Amino acid sequence: MRGRELFRLAKPLLVGFGAVLAVLPRAAVGLLLTLSRFAPTQLGIALRWTLVRRLAKRCGDTVAIHDGVYLFRLENAELGANVSVHPMCYLDATGGLVIGNDVSIAHGVSILTTEHDYTQPGFMIRDAPVKPAPVTIGDDVWIGAGARILAGVTIGAHAVVGAGAVVTRDVPARTVVAGVPARPLTVAKAVPLSVATLPAPRVMR
């Protein structure tokens, strides 16, 4: 049975558990999320969904947070439906993070939403002020293993980010990018008919 079918069957129970979590302080729920980080199997995924749903600004159905994922400042995060975040990912929503529907984030991906303002005089670089810069990921996006999404980036719908890529600039819709820094390779082919009329992807220089 697929995860979505299991979720549909278990959702009433999970929502009931979520109602119990609603009376707990956010700090307590955040501690539970930390303690459940390495909980295995579908039970661990179900538990983390209820906790993330309580903590995030928005969280859709069938959001699978696998074991070993590090999540920070979820009050600034919006997650769509049918999202999978695979093991050993690092998602920091301090500066604002929006993830659309049907997004797959492979293992070992980092998404950052802040950066140090190292141009400021009078500071050691490590002590420089932190600048927030939100990250937005559109619908139907695949982010390959070990990719790095840096602060301020927008990834358009139906895009693919290759394994190990470092994304420093916006990725147009329907574009496959790879490399360090990430650059366009080709147009993503498997897209719904509803986007067939979108303009051709822009080439990043």
DSSP symbols for 2-69: -HHHHHHHHHHHHHHHHHHHTTS-HHHHHHHHHHTTT--HHHHHHHHHHHHHHHSSEE-SSEEE-TT-
**Residues 31, 180: Cα–Cα separation, whole Å:** 36
- Structure tokens that stand for 17 in this block: 């558990």
**Residues 99, 105: Cα–Cα separation, whole Å:** 10
Question: Residue 160 burial (CB < 10 Å; 0-12/13-18/19+)?
Answer: buried
86 is catalytic: no
**Residues 154, 158: Cα–Cα separation, whole Å:** 12
DSSP assigned state of 152: T
Instruction: Single out the catalytic residue among 66, 86, 107, 116.
Output: 116
**Active-site residue numbers?**
116
